[in-house]
Structure 1
Amino acid sequence: MSSTQFNAGQSHGQTQAKAEEWVDSAKDTAHAAHDKACDAAGKTQEQAHRSKEESAGFLQQTGEQVAHMAQGAIDGVKNTLGMGEKK
């Protein structure tokens, strides 16, 4: 085997090893990105759930306030017309 063939074989082996390192590095990077994306999605889902609960509570309070205001308006009209409890 000539030294040229030996050098070519050695160079090929080094190139292949370097390519494998790059592939492994790319896989590690992809896995890390996937993990971060999953964490972000989980946090987003938790925040959406909290926001939904807060919105439901806000809407319930608003509905109760509107109902009280409407009842007050009805009582006021009844009193004005002399139909209310206060005479």
Structure 2
Amino acid sequence: MSARTNSMLLGVAALIIAAPLVLNPAGQFGGTDDAASEVVTSSHPAYEKWTGPLWQPSKEIEGLLFAAQAAFGAGLLGYVIGRRHGRSGK
């Protein structure tokens, strides 16, 4: 692929990623855990959780752990793709 094609694809990907934030700036982008809890509570109001967290980190530590998990996953994915690309001999 040419550099122009790569640039166009990256631009399109950036627009796709940014579109929800631009089109709905005041939107609430909650996680699936929150959505699932709301559905369970609305369908079974008497439901009581039978488990709980072993440790509740602060918001800063929670963000750090999430970023570390994402970085590890991206590194692992990059390593696997690099190994497969190197094995193909290109």
Same fold, judged at TM 0.5 (above): no
When normalised by structure 1's length, the TM-score is 0.37
Structure possessing the higher radius of gyration over alpha carbons: 1
Select the structure with the greater relative contact order (CA < 8 A; seq sep ≥ 6).
1
Higher helix share: 1
